[in-house]
Amino acid sequence: MKDIKLVATDLDGTFLKNDQTISTKNLDALHRLGEINIVRVAATGRNLHKVKEVLNGSIPFDYVVFSSGAGVFDWKAKKHIYNKNIERESSQKLVNYFIEKRLNFHAFFPVPENHKHWYFRGEKHCEEFERYFQFNNAFASDLSENEFPKTSLCQFLLIIPEDDKKFEKMKNEIEAISPNIRVIRTSSPITKSFIWVEVFQKSVSKGNGVKHICDLLNIKYTDTMGIGNDYNDIDLLNFTGHSFITKNAPTQISELDKGAPSNENDAFAFVTQPILK
């Protein structure tokens, strides 16, 4: 643990408390890591606009891996340093498929403008789709069936009731559309009984986002630590040399648990304590 050079943490359900505040212990640990020159990375499913809703400029991260790895932002220099969007051809195939199936979906502008998005209402009403729309309608545009976006896209979001078999079936069907995409599962941060089905460019993951930072700074992959709490953190935890998942993780991935407490009990401060001794 004394060889750790980089620590990457998920935000919601991990570094942040349930009310999206930062505990005193977690913030203190973040400051102390900086004092001993440990690179501090927030690796989140949030887009950068939403990251700034919970992290103000004084929170001392060094980098932010956002949108599950679709982009990397130098938090100190305030500049984008990496992005991976879905190529235009694959984006068009996905739009066509989702409309043909009459699914509810959101299609997001390419990074770095991916807080903006198009939305399409399918044939079945979805309460969770409407809740998401209410939170994000300031940046939403109606997607016309007759005029598709003629651009690359950061990602797609579909929302389904929590059903493992239904998710796996949908994942397989979507990934069969193009060899250049992948589907990532995320637990809904709005309503626990729904799954967010997120579609990205194939190489997008939090792990690859952190890998880009390691390559940039010449940090050995084994000299890294990761902590998360959800399905979209698995790639991160598989990449980092020392990995922890919080007690509040879904039961389906609890076998990865290495003893970290919940986000409500200062999980980040707990797992970084051995580095700071």
What's the pLDDT tens digit per position in 9-47?
A: 999 999 999 999 999 999 999 999 999 999 999 999 999
- Give one DSSP letter per residue of 216-235, joined into a string: HHT--GGGEEEEE-SGGGHH
Assign 137 to helix, strand or coil.
helix
Supply the pLDDT for residue 254.
67
Fold of 6-84+204-276: Rossmann fold (3.40.50)
Q: Where are the domains of the chain?
A: 6-84+204-276, 88-201
6-84+204-276 with 88-201: one CATH topology?
no
- pLDDT, mean of residues 214-221: 98
Supply the pLDDT for residue 110.
97
Asked if residue 194 lies in contact with residue 162, where contact means CB atoms within 8 angstroms, the answer is yes
Say which CATH architecture domain 88-201 belongs to: 2-Layer Sandwich (3.30)
pTM of the predicted protein model? 0.95
- pLDDT, mean of residues 214-229: 97
Q: 267-276 vs 24-35: helix axis angle to the nearest 10?
A: 30
What's the pLDDT tens digit per position in 94-115?
A: 999 999 999 999 999 999 999 9
| Arithmetic mean of pLDDT over the chain | 94
Residue 218, pLDDT above cutoff 90: yes
Ramachandran angles phi, psi of 154, nearest 5° = -75, -50
Supply the pLDDT for residue 98.
95
What's the pLDDT tens digit per position in 250-263?
A: 887 866 666 799 99
Is the peptide bond prior to 149 cis by the omega test (within 30 degrees of 0)? no
Asked if residue 119 lies in contact with residue 140, where contact means CB atoms within 8 angstroms, the answer is yes
Residue 192, pLDDT above cutoff 90: no
Residue 83, pLDDT above cutoff 90: yes
Supply the pLDDT for residue 257.
61
Supply the pLDDT for residue 244.
94
